[in-house]
Structure 1
Amino acid sequence: MALPVETFFLQPDAQGTLQSQIQQMIAQGILSGRFQPGEKLPSTRKLATHLGVSRITVTIAYTELLANDYLTSKGRSGYFVSENAPTPPSFSPTPDAEDAVDWARALGQRFSGGVTPSKPQDWSKYRYPFVYGQADQSLFDHANWRLCALQALGQRDFESMTSDYYDQDDPNLIEFIARHTLPRRGITAKPEQILITMGAQNALWMTAQVLLTQRRRAALEDPCYHALRDILIQSRCHVNPVRVDADGLPPEAIPPDTDVIFTTPSHQCPTNATMPLARRRALLERARQMDALIVEDDYEFETSFLRAPSPALKSLDTDGRVIYVGSFSKSLFPGLRLGYLVGSEPFIREARALRASVLRHPPGHTQRTAAYFLSLGHYDALVRRMGNALHDRRARMEEGIRAHGLQVAGQGAHGGSSFWMRAPDHIDTHALAARLRQRGVLIEPGQSFFGGAERPRNFYRLGYSSIPATRIADGLAELARGIAQTSGIGHIRA
């Protein structure tokens, strides 16, 4: 029996090449049981005409499926579903059964009660995406990343891609971090003092697991990175939020019984405040007096395009009490999930053992690809290109913010990729964000960054790393219009 050509169609929003889409379409038909063994497929010419693609594209797709035993060829008769093709499961789905488990009692711990906000996965389809931390396709060096990934797939790097490192990491990546990345922050470290992580958040989680117990106390900035607050609450330690000021975390406000201090001195998250050198030294002295450790999340130091970044807190540490968290996920792309921890050997030893028991190590191919991208100079070129683009976008943001009378609550003195904003006191930015989203404008409400029961509801963050520069002015005009309408103000400044 021949399969009618009308049963074949390409999804309009499908990803990948036309060849791969055709392969996937036919393979899914076979795996779902719609296409049975022995059934004849349309000719390459007929299917190409029906789909509106070239005949060679269909021929290559058929050839790949033939090689994978999904199809078989019978001379001039054409292509057929192979008798050896994978078959769908023969069992019938079981009916939904009533869950008799009392999950309120069965769950030993709960991790879903945090305030981490969700971001729309289709953010790039919005006209004015003032979202933070997403990759801009127009800036990313996809061609060289692809070449580095292909190089890491080669026979020469077979072991780095396929080996089980157990608790170790790619030596090439560790060497680059030790010899190039850290010295730029004034940090000297041996390979034994560096651990690769699945991004900064994973690094913070491992740090909390190693350092904190139910009897220990952690101080964190308020407002702060919301996922860090979730991590500390889940660790069941005592948490002391410390309200930041224009210079970041004030050392004198840290409770004297604190065991671990979490801070983002380069670009405070989310206010973007940069901690001055004098305060950094005061923070180190405060920690020394309390015999406390400091976890430094060196957040966004690569985006210091207005002036050179301040020295890392770790570079000023003379007694090993600072644990440094770095990440390539923000400067390359968030889906990479690649970061690193730097600390004294006893700490790294325990963090390494914890990582091995949870995920062993980040994928070897990802590590080797990043190592090539870094060592061949592509990363530095990308950071420069991003810095130039962000400099231009920041200038347009400042111009639009002034033009529409929007209130800035915090902006990075050295650069960065976002503005911390304050709406009029009576405005709930969650509700504002929902209304703006219908107009194609995405903003990030700020309530989740604050701790405590009475969290301010009128703050929000505007990222400019993902919105085209040419759309910033119109996007800010829409934002100002939304705030004015919420406030009941009739007059809107053009």
Structure 2
Amino acid sequence: MAISVETFFLDPDAQGTLQSQIQQMIAEGILSGRFQRGEKLPSSRKLAAHLGVARITVTLAYTELLANDYLTSRGRSGYYVSDTAPEPPAFPPQPPRQDAVDWSRALGQRFSGGATPVKPQDWSSYRYPFVYGQTDPTLFDHASWRHCALQALGQKDFVPLTSDYYDQDDPQLVTFIARHILPRRGILANPDEILVTMGAQNALWLTAQVLLTQRRTAAIEDPCYPALRDILTQSRCHVTPIPVDADGLPPDSVPAESDVIFTTPSHQCPTTATMPMSRRQALLARARELDALIVEDDYEFEMSFLSPPSPALKSLDRDGRVIYVGSFSKSLFPGLRLGYLVGSTAFIREARALRASVLRHVPGHIQRTAAYFLSLGHYDSLIRRMGNTLRRRREVMADAIAAHGLTVAGRGAFGGSSFWMRAPDGTDTEVLAERVKAKSVLIEPGHPFFASPGRGQAHYRLGYSSIPSSRIPEGIAILARIVAEQA
């Protein structure tokens, strides 16, 4: 690797000859570790022109460093950092910089300190990763995605690749969502009722910013998606957690002061409960009675592989009061950061304007690549393959859980990709997670999903989207043994 000539600067206040200054500059770069062994230095002509000195000055500096074994010469190739150059010394840590800003007063708002759980970045290196929502490389269609990405880079797609959409979206992607994705949920929408977002979390943030104020109240499920609670806390609205039951959010428990109701009816997060049709109708009636809006997060409807998914709340809505949030994070991969909002034109108009002021639009190349992947049939093929695999893993998981006497607190009747579990009373699943992690088993503690800090200590989530069926029984056996020990 070549060292860029732009990294060299002469200090105007330095002492000594130009030759000695150049020698010292290069030697310090090697001793500090900035210049690595084997890296090529700029030619004497190029460095001299950059520094504004005579070439002979640089040549003499290089020659002196060559004699001291800092540099080596490779024929006509040039000068390189020597393989026997001095090792960078282990300098003691520098004293902390004194910050004169009182950040406790300077910060107008705080966004850190939320409860959203963080998955280990190296989760794939664990043998039994019962983590939720990660991509299994054995299932994803790399070749087709690469083909679609290359197609989106072609000359024909130069405009969507390079253009500033400002507040608009790729028409091909919006058309496919409107004609193929949404009808599967019974939803009919026009293009001006659809907004592409940077994933479901961005869609929820946009929704909260548009609909809620400090004087309005949001009703949320308890337990719920932790990032949603963080978003609502940051919006400074009033938040009312409503305990869910085996059928999800109970409509009768929604308080009268609610302005916006957030729910996950297809697969309640994290219990995986599916809201029955009668309750969906009741929730719509309750919202109509309160003149409240409903935000339906349908994050996992593609994972309904045990039986066809129930109609979306949005498909049953006749008043325009349901805002639908969809995502490709679970069906494609979370790093794609691609989702969408569906709502009345007036709402989408404001959400579009807000998105434009924050990030303008989702990158055009990502949108066009996804549009090709969906429209060429690769997406449907992937969903079928994932459904068949998750069905098998779910069966293996259920058998292993039953065999080892672990307690299931919630399992989706329509599918999903996780089990909501409960350990014996008194178990702290934070401690349990650390203990099983030492045995290469990853689980998700349950307390971040609950509104009250004291609740959910004994709950945990087991995902099976990223672990092969062959490893599930052994991983569950290890987990069961440590659960018994801790109990």
3-state secondary structure, aligned to 2:421? strand
Whether 1:173 and 2:173 are equivalent positions in the alignment is yes
Whether 1:409 and 2:409 are equivalent positions in the alignment is yes
Whether 1:191 and 2:191 are equivalent positions in the alignment is yes
3-state secondary structure, aligned to 2:177? helix
Whether 1:38 and 2:48 are equivalent positions in the alignment is no
TM-superposed CA distance for 1:118, in Å, is: 1.4
For 1:52-63, what aligned pairs fall within 5 Å after superposition? none
- 2:462 is aligned to 462
TM-superposed CA distance for 1:455, in Å, is: 1.8
* One-letter amino acid of the structure 2 residue matched with residue 37 of structure 1: P
For 1:15-414, what aligned pairs fall within 5 Å after superposition? 34-38=39-43, 79-80=77-78, 97-414=97-414
* One-letter amino acid of the structure 1 residue matched with residue 397 of structure 2: M
* One-letter amino acid of the structure 2 residue matched with residue 251 of structure 1: P
- 1:435 is aligned to 435
Give the conservation status (yes or no) of the 8 Å contact 1:192–1:345: yes
Question: RMSD across aligned C-alpha pairs, in angstroms?
Answer: 2.0
Alpha-carbon distance in 1 for matches of 2:329, 2:292: 29
3-state secondary structure, aligned to 1:370? helix
1:96–1:34: structure 2 CA closer, same or farther, 3 Å change rule? Answer: farther
* One-letter amino acid of the structure 2 residue matched with residue 152 of structure 1: A
Alpha-carbon distance in 2 for matches of 1:79, 1:167: 51
* TM-score, with length taken from structure 2: 0.83
- 2:6 is aligned to none
Cα deviation, 1:145-174, whole Å, max 9, x if unaligned, reads 000000000000011011000000000000
Alpha-carbon distance in 2 for matches of 1:191, 1:78: 62
Give the conservation status (yes or no) of the 8 Å contact 2:449–2:456: no
Give the conservation status (yes or no) of the 8 Å contact 2:41–2:78: no
TM-superposed CA distance for 1:97, in Å, is: 3.3
* One-letter amino acid of the structure 1 residue matched with residue 43 of structure 2: G
Give the conservation status (yes or no) of the 8 Å contact 1:445–1:460: yes
Taking every aligned residue pair, what percent have the same amino acid on both sides?
72
TM-superposed CA distance for 1:281, in Å, is: 0.3
TM-superposed CA distance for 1:333, in Å, is: 0.2
- 1:49 is aligned to none
Cα deviation, 1:199-251, whole Å, max 9, x if unaligned, reads 00000000000000000000000000000000001100000000000000000
* One-letter amino acid of the structure 1 residue matched with residue 40 of structure 2: F
Alpha-carbon distance in 1 for matches of 2:122, 2:309: 33
TM-superposed CA distance for 1:484, in Å, is: 1.0
Alpha-carbon distance in 1 for matches of 2:259, 2:201: 20
Cα deviation, 1:13-54, whole Å, max 9, x if unaligned, reads xxxxxxxxxxxxxxx987999531139xxxxxxxxxxxxxxx
3-state secondary structure, aligned to 2:120? coil
Alpha-carbon distance in 2 for matches of 1:364, 1:29: 37
Cα deviation, 1:329-365, whole Å, max 9, x if unaligned, reads 1110000000000000000000000000000001000
Cα deviation, 1:164-193, whole Å, max 9, x if unaligned, reads 000000000000000110011000000000
Alpha-carbon distance in 2 for matches of 1:122, 1:395: 27
3-state secondary structure, aligned to 1:330? coil
3-state secondary structure, aligned to 2:410? strand
- 1:448 is aligned to 448
- 1:57 is aligned to none
Which protein has the larger Cα radius of gyration, Structure 1 or Structure 2? Answer: 2
- 2:477 is aligned to 477
Cα deviation, 1:304-338, whole Å, max 9, x if unaligned, reads 11000000000000010000000001110000000
Give the conservation status (yes or no) of the 8 Å contact 1:29–1:35: no
Give the conservation status (yes or no) of the 8 Å contact 1:30–1:36: no
Give the conservation status (yes or no) of the 8 Å contact 1:250–1:279: yes
Give the conservation status (yes or no) of the 8 Å contact 2:173–2:367: yes
3-state secondary structure, aligned to 2:408? strand
* TM-score, with length taken from structure 1: 0.82
Alpha-carbon distance in 1 for matches of 2:435, 2:453: 25
TM-superposed CA distance for 1:78, in Å, is: 5.6
Give the conservation status (yes or no) of the 8 Å contact 1:194–1:340: yes
User: Once superposed, which parts of structure 1, at least 4 consecutive aligned residues long, lie more than 2 Å away?
Assistant: 28-35, 76-82, 94-97
* One-letter amino acid of the structure 2 residue matched with residue 102 of structure 1: D
1:77–1:301: structure 2 CA closer, same or farther, 3 Å change rule? Answer: same
TM-superposed CA distance for 1:454, in Å, is: 2.5
TM-superposed CA distance for 1:408, in Å, is: 0.2
TM-superposed CA distance for 1:144, in Å, is: 0.2
Alpha-carbon distance in 2 for matches of 1:453, 1:38: 62
3-state secondary structure, aligned to 2:43? coil
Cα deviation, 1:375-399, whole Å, max 9, x if unaligned, reads 0000000000000000000000000
TM-superposed CA distance for 1:113, in Å, is: 1.9
Alpha-carbon distance in 2 for matches of 1:287, 1:119: 35
* One-letter amino acid of the structure 1 residue matched with residue 338 of structure 2: L
3-state secondary structure, aligned to 2:172? helix
3-state secondary structure, aligned to 1:184? helix
Alpha-carbon distance in 1 for matches of 2:271, 2:478: 23
Alpha-carbon distance in 2 for matches of 1:95, 1:267: 51
Cα deviation, 1:238-293, whole Å, max 9, x if unaligned, reads 00000000000000000011000000000000000000000000000000000000
